[in-house]
Amino acid sequence: MHGIPQDDALMGFLWYAGAFVIAIGILVTVHESGHYLAARLCKVRVLRFSFGFGRPLIRWQRPGAETEWTICAIPLGGYVKMLDESEGDVSAQDVERAFNRKSVWQRLFIVSAGPAANLLLAVLIYWIGFVQGVSEPRPILGEPTPNSAVARASLRAGDEILMVGERATRTWADVRWGFVQAMAGQPQVELLIRSGSNDRRVTFSTPSLSDISDESDPLKELGFNSFRPEFPPLVGTVVAGGAAERAGIRVGDLVLSVDRQPVKHWGELVQIISAAPDRSLRLELSRAGQRLALDVIPEKHTQGGQTIGRIGVGVEASGPWRERLFVEIRYGALDAFGHAIVKTWEMAGFSLRMLGRMIVGEVSLKNISGPLTIADYAGQSAKVGLDAYIRFLALISISIGVLNLLPIPLLDGGHIMYYLAEIAFRRPLSQRTMELGQQIGFVLLACLMAFAFFNDITRLLS
């Protein structure tokens, strides 16, 4: 068993760390910009816009400007500091620009603008994706896993899933999302299946999400496998920065053998590489009529609760097979905007339902992820490509927006709760009540962070 060279390990760490810092930088800047722009719109004086917490590393402020811009040592958040009489003396000429002097509706608007900015970022990303179009695999079944729920439902290789419940499914992503939604509360779901030229309906029992093992693909656990024709082992794509690119593999290379074991089709290549994480493999290739041999070390990835190897290559699938197996998802500008809003709304609502199920114990707290897991996903999505990384940003942006709307003091949602109470009771809450709420909020957030870090470390060690 060969270890990963130190240079590769360092480059891998820097790649994941860089992808994480860029993601957090974008999402925090968007969130705090929402607060900042809303405050400026309401004529509140902004004293500081900070990316990160802790000791300031960089400070700058334009001559004559009111706002100081800082980058701090801990890049896990940020804040916008506004003029406020509760935090210090305010001069008579500036008192009308203090946050606490604004109407409750203006304060509610300023506090809500941060989470709203995160959700709007997700809408923008999805809208651009829908307008540009993306090619995704159709939900055509491969051979079901023996003795699985899919096999028991009499589904066969070649069947295409047209609907999950009331949701039309054009891609495997649609099928996965439909099943995850069903697992969140439905004991069974009806599938519309196309077998050849005939359509039929199948009632499919759905386990609860709490019965699905952590970090696994729900479709794999149910026995779904995508249809894979026997494509030749011809490299169609090479992931930038991946193991294949570092080893010198290029688009157009034909893999002849791995460790002297002949490779007849792409599925065999995937199987061999998946079974060899962190182990050096010798690939014999044909390139422009010449033979050459290259050594590559598959990188470890977790999929379906198992550790597999990947080198970062994709199959060359063109012609009639590509038309059969892939569908182009594209909408006009107006339709794309509507689909983007619906997708963001569905993702946000599902996140809230999952949080509620965690609170009542129906879903494991192991599903809470911290910065290490986010960094892992950031690095993996960045290796897949820019499109995957941007979609990852949309997902995390929704999560940040939803998390900040929770009615927990210290979060934006806690302040929203205070201002709604002020509107209902027609007077601000007492200082003692707000201080007590802050203490409770601190304890709740500390527990949440402790769970997140514990889960991160557990995943890392396993």
Annotated catalytic sites, by residue?
Answer: 32
Report residue 182 as tokens.
């069903």
Helix (H, G, I), strand (E, B) or coil at 154: coil
Query: In sequence order, what are the residues at sequence separation of 6 or more whose Cβ sits closer than 8 angstroms to the Cβ of residue 367?
Result: 214, 354, 358
Judge whether 61 and 69 are in contact, CB under 8 Å: yes
Sign of CA dihedral 149, 216, 328, 341: positive
Distance CA 10, CA 260 (A): 30
Strands (E), 83-126: none
Answer for the pair 121, 394: CB distance below 8 angstroms, yes or no. yes
Say if CB 161 and CB 173 are below 8 A apart.
Answer: no
Supply φ then ψ for residue 147, to 5 degrees.
60, 20
Look-up of token digits 């965690």: 358
d(CA 184, CA 351): 11
Strand ranges inside 140-253, DSSP E = 160-164, 167-168, 188-195, 198-205, 235-238
Residue 188 CB partners (closer than 8 Å, separation 6+):
182, 203, 204, 205, 206
- Return the residue matching tokens 């069947």: 159
Please list the residues that pair with 81 across neighbouring strands: 48
Q: Taking Cα atoms as reference points, which of 255, 231, 244 lies closest to residue 383?
A: 244
DSSP string across 129-147: HHHH-EEEE--BB-SPPTT
- Dist. CA 262–CA 244, nearest whole Å: 19
